Structure 1
Amino acid sequence: MRAVSLVPSLTEAIAVTAPGRLAGVTDWCTHPAGLTAARIGGTKNPDVAAIVALRPDLVVANEEENRAPDLAAIGAAGIEVLVTTIRTLDQAFEELERVLAAVCGRPRPRWLDEAEAAWAALPPPRAPRRAVVPVWRRPWMVLGRDTFAGDLLARLGVENVYAGHAERYPRIPLDVLNAAGADLVVLPDEPYRFTVDDGPESFPGLPAALVDGRYLTWYGPSLAQAPAVLRAALR
């Protein structure tokens, strides 16, 4: 099986489970270190001609990270496309199992068992803290409804103020965010790279939790360590 992955999380999952199956990956696929697969552009602007030239048996994609026209063009070239939908942790485990079975054809990997066990072992959350969770600035955008990261935070006792918003990633003015009644702001380092000097200053008087975006937004081997890493960051 020769595969192309258009999703960094799934790239890591496949590469860790069955090294050598990936013929192509995106420019944003940074894990695991030492990937030698061909680079075929970004998640939103893949080089379809380059993908076709690699002659993969399967292209792995995600309905949120990749654009439908690109996936349609790949399919029109006669290449099978497996499109995942991941908006909750449970969906992540289900889709990971489906992708790994399709690409790797091996027994369920140990890291997936470890990831499920790590999340199942979480203690009951304390009284929830209400948080705003920006993912971009200029303009400010936050997590809204039905997001994978929002589901992880809820399992850790963090209630997303905008979880009931009509949009999944709404644009909210900064003054409205500051008046939302949150008692915490969660600032991941991707897709926007929030840092101690870029983000917390916009929320005066509100505690800020800087979190590693890979543990909050990636669904792959990092899920095994994510509960411990995120709990430490959210204290």
Structure 2
Amino acid sequence: MGEAPRLLDAAGQEHRPFRGEARIVSLVPSLTELACALGLAGSLVGRTGFCIHPRDTVRSIPKVGGTKDVDLARVMALAPTHLLVNVDENEKPAVDALRPHVGSVVVTHPIEVEDNIGLYRLFGGIFGCEGRAGELEARLRTVLAAARAQAHAPLRVLYLIWSNPWMTVGPETYIARMLAEVGLHAVAPESPARYPQVDLDGFGAERFDAVLLSTEPYRFTEEHCRALRADPRLAGRPVCLIDGEMTSWYGSRAIDGLDYLRAFRRELDLARAAEGLPT
């Protein structure tokens, strides 16, 4: 038999299979959901207030603040063996302050959709749930192949995540990579920021074919869509509401997310065709 693969997280830290009674604190909604999908709900002893899925399961798990404003004392009091964090979603100083009080800090940073496979394998190897991790991997590979089998005409989209100021997603983000799987190419001003601000006066409508308003982190609604459709700066470009959980949550959510995006792209093409626009 060959050697078992090394369990390296996004920070390059190697982890060992844990065979004791795990006490997991997750500071990331996607990772809380993934842990539950892997059968680890009984090992979760703490989560953020934004960790809301699966709803019935997480209700009984104590909260430790938010992703950006973690209650450090509360986390320490839970005596976790493992802390699940993400480069984009958690503040490094808070994570560093917790390191001496946690057995292992597992750092994640998926960018490509395929990075979820490594995430499944990492958690499966650490927590001894390789079987369930393999099932998730197989399901993700199936929906990813289905998405890529469709010949989508490329559409440029301005994907807005915040208002006042307007903010969008850069090309080197997980959201942009998810959108690209169905031919939606996120456009953004040139900026070193991963989530740059957008000036709609200077970033003209000739740069995009449609505007997508995400339901998170800002709670865009259909009312916002109606208001933007009347904005002359958008030159009549379609404005659509899109489920931010389906595009930005990774882990097990990527499977449903890809199915959602395939259906979303079909609806967007129909709407554009009804307006006489190319699809």
TM score, norm. by length of structure 2: 0.78
Q: CA deviation at 1:164?
A: 6.0
1:12 aligns with 2:33: yes
Q: Which runs of 5+ in 1 are unaligned?
A: none
Tell me the SS of whatever aligns to 2:223.
coil
Q: CA deviation at 1:223?
A: 1.9
Does the 8 A contact of 1:3 with 1:24 survive in 2?
Answer: yes
Tell me the SS of whatever aligns to 1:186.
strand
Q: CA deviation at 1:179?
A: 3.3
Q: Give the direction of change, closer, same or farther, for the CA distance of 1:126–1:163 in structure 2 (3 Å limit).
A: farther
Q: CA deviation at 1:96?
A: 3.2
The structure whose Rg is larger is 2
Does the 8 A contact of 1:60 with 1:99 survive in 2?
Answer: no
1:24-61 deviations in Å (ceiling 9; x for gaps): 00000000012121100000011111111101100000
Q: Which one of the candidate residues 98, 120, 127 is aligned to 2:122? A: 98
Deviation larger for 162-171 or 60-69: 162-171
Does the 8 A contact of 2:38 with 2:129 survive in 1?
Answer: no
Aligned residues: 235
Amino acid at match of 1:28: F
RMSD: 1.9
1:58 aligns with 2:89: no
Residues of 1 paired with 2:76 and 2:180: CA distance? 40
Amino acid at match of 2:244: G
Between the aligned residues of both structures, percent identity stands at: 32
Q: CA deviation at 1:162?
A: 1.9
Moved over 6 A (4+): none
Counterpart of 1:219?
A: 250
Residues of 2 paired with 1:150 and 1:38: CA distance? 33
Q: Give the direction of change, closer, same or farther, for the CA distance of 1:37–1:44 in structure 2 (3 Å limit).
A: same
Q: Which runs of 5+ in 2 are unaligned?
A: 1-21, 269-279
Residues of 2 paired with 1:116 and 1:163: CA distance? 32
Residues of 1 paired with 2:139 and 2:249: CA distance? 16
Q: Give the direction of change, closer, same or farther, for the CA distance of 1:104–1:214 in structure 2 (3 Å limit).
A: farther
Counterpart of 2:142?
A: 117
TM score, norm. by length of structure 1: 0.92
